[in-house]
């Protein structure tokens, strides 16, 4: 038992156990690799619009400091607790190491239902959270980014709050900012584009035609919407999407650009069409070429894994597949090609890294440059994962995580244990 124990953290522990066994990591080395270096809990009081005061619990977990600053998103959701944040921080570490970024993993968040507070309250909460975090973050200590429930605007408030305390503009304190305030071109689209790019690569390797191919996307936030748009632009029919308000299905393919316009205006897919309404619980098991879960963790359990009818499982969300489901997918390797989360959604943090580099240098790139470099890194990591999976006869997830864990382990080994 640790303070982090809970269903999501236990999943990260379980996954790490599989990797540690595969790599024969001695028992006395495991806690050093797995347990977070720092965990911060803060109380964030704000004035509500009705004049009362409300206090929200905020968290930030910094997993390891071995390779550079820590890096990771900030989640505003009712589910957020220290265990979920710690698991997400650990996954960020393996993700950053896999794709070769000079970062440890971090994650943060506030337990809050953003749909239940006003825009002014959201701004007050975002600013107070960053203010409480100032002693623990910095451009060379810990760099935040968006995650579920946060967006470019929240990042701009974070950056402004930090900068006001420093007495100068410090754009490099967070990534995922609006381009107007030091963000990079291509960050908004980066995660979804990366998911679609890798799914396309796998389809081509499996000799599946893109044109007329089918895709299902769970989640229509920043990741899911851009993944769907990109798959649509490759010629696939996106036959189903869902978000927290429901699901839509059209065997002829949904009009994704129109749906994106709708969600930009109304905040969700609700109200787009009553004719196309579908049961959200059923979309994961639809027959399709590409299934992209881009919402929550732990949506694919063993029972769902048995019933999957996709050819490619492109994990846009963090941790969508449980360890039990992994055992099922291990036996279905020839039927379902898994692109594991730490690779599949890594385009987001890769372009966050580009944003941080551009902010530090005050030298900004064209969008083509951002995309070219993003895809190059994704290709390299994909090839490393594939080669490792083949060589060791292991699943793609085990291969991807083994590469990430090995890199962190090697850095710790060469630096030694202080003092």
Binding site for ligand GLU (CB under 6 A): 71-73, 145, 147, 175-176, 318, 345, 348-349, 352
Count CB neighbours of 379 within 10 A. 13
Between the two ends of the chain, the Cα-to-Cα distance in Å is 27
Q: Which is nearer to ligand GLU, 195 or 304 (CB)?
A: 195
Bond from prior residue into 380 cis (ω within 30 degrees of 0): no
Least distance CB 311 / ligand GLU (angstroms): 25
Residue closer to ligand GLU by CB (options 280, 348) is 348
CB nearer to ligand GLU: give 161 or 345: 345
DSSP-H helix ranges across 23-56: 27-34
For residue 14, which phi and psi values (nearest 5 degrees)? -60, -50
Q: Identify whether the C-beta of residue 73 lies closer than 8 Å to the C-beta of residue 175.
A: no
Rounded to a whole number of angstroms, the minimum distance from the CB of residue 193 to ligand GLU is 13
107 catalytic, yes or no? yes
Inter-residue contact 8 to 298 (CB < 8 Å): yes
Least Å distance, CB 356 to ligand GLU, is: 9
CB nearer to ligand GLU: give 73 or 104: 73
- Identify the three-state secondary structure at position 387: helix
C-beta nearest to ligand GLU: residue: 73
Residue 71 vs 232, nearer CB to ligand GLU: 71
DSSP string, 190-236: HHHHHHHHHHHHHHHHTT--STT-EEEEE--SHHHHHHHHHHHHTT-
Question: Which of the following is catalytic: 37, 71, 95, 107?
Answer: 107
Instruction: Please give the structure tokens belonging to residue 174.
Output: 């967070």
Q: What are the tokens at 223? A: 């990741």
Instruction: Report in angstroms how near the CB of residue 61 gets to ligand GLU at its nearest.
Output: 13
Helix 347-361 with 187-205: angle, nearest 10 deg: 140
* Least spacing, CB of residue 184 vs ligand GLU, in Å: 11
Looking up tokens 């980014």, which residue turns up? Answer: 145
For residues 304 and 288, give the distance between their C-alpha atoms in angstroms, rounded to a whole number: 15
List active site positions.
Answer: 107
């Amino acid at each position: 038992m640790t303070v982090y124990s809970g269903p999501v953290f236990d999943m990260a522990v379980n996954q790490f156990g599989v990797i540690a066994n595969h790599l024969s990591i001695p028992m006395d080395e495991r806690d050093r690799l797995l347990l977070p270096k720092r965990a911060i809990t803060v109380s964030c009081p704000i004035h509500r619009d009705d004049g009362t005061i409300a206090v929200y619990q905020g968290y930030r977990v910094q997993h390891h400091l071995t390779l550079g600053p820590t890096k990771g998103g900030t989640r505003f959701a009712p589910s957020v607790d220290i265990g979920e944040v710690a698991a997400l921080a650990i996954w960020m570490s393996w993700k950053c190491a896999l794709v070769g970024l000079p970062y440890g993993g971090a994650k943060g968040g506030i337990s809050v239902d953003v749909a239940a507070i006003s825009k002014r309250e959201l701004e007050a909460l975002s600013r107070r959270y960053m203010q409480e975090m100032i002693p623990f973050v910095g451009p060379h200590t810990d760099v935040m980014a968006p995650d579920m429930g946060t967006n470019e605007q929240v990042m701009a408030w974070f950056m402004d709050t930090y900068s006001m305390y420093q007495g100068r503009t410090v754009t490099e304190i967070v990534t995922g900012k609006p381009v107007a305030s030091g963000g990079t071109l291509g960050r908004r689209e980066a995660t979804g584009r990366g998911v679609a790019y890798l799914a396309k690569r796998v389809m081509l390797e499996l000799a599946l035609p893109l044109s007329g191919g089918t895709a299902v996307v769970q989640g229509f936030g920043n990741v899911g919407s851009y993944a769907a748009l990109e798959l649509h632009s490759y010629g696939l029919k996106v036959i189903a999407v869902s978000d927290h308000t429901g699901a839509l299905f059209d065997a002829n393919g949904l009009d994704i650009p129109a749906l994106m316009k709708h969600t930009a205006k109304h905040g969700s897919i609700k109200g787009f069409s009553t004719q196309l309404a579908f049961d959200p619980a059923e979309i994961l098991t639809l027959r399709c070429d590409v299934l992209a879960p881009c919402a929550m963790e732990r949506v694919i359990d063993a029972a769902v894994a048995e019933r999957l009818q996709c050819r490619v499982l492109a994990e846009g969300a963090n941790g969508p597949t449980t360890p039990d489901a992994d055992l099922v997918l291990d036996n279905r390797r020839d039927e379902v090609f898994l692109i594991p989360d730490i690779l599949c959604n890594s385009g987001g943090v890769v372009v966050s890294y580009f944003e941080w580099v551009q902010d530090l240098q005050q030298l900004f790139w064209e969008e083509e440059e951002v995309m070219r470099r993003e895809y190059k890194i994704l290709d390299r990591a994909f090839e490393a994962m594939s080669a490792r999976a083949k060589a060791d006869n292991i699943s793609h997830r085990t291969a991807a995580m083994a590469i990430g864990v090995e890199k962190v382990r090697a850095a710790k080994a060469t630096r030694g244990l202080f003092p």
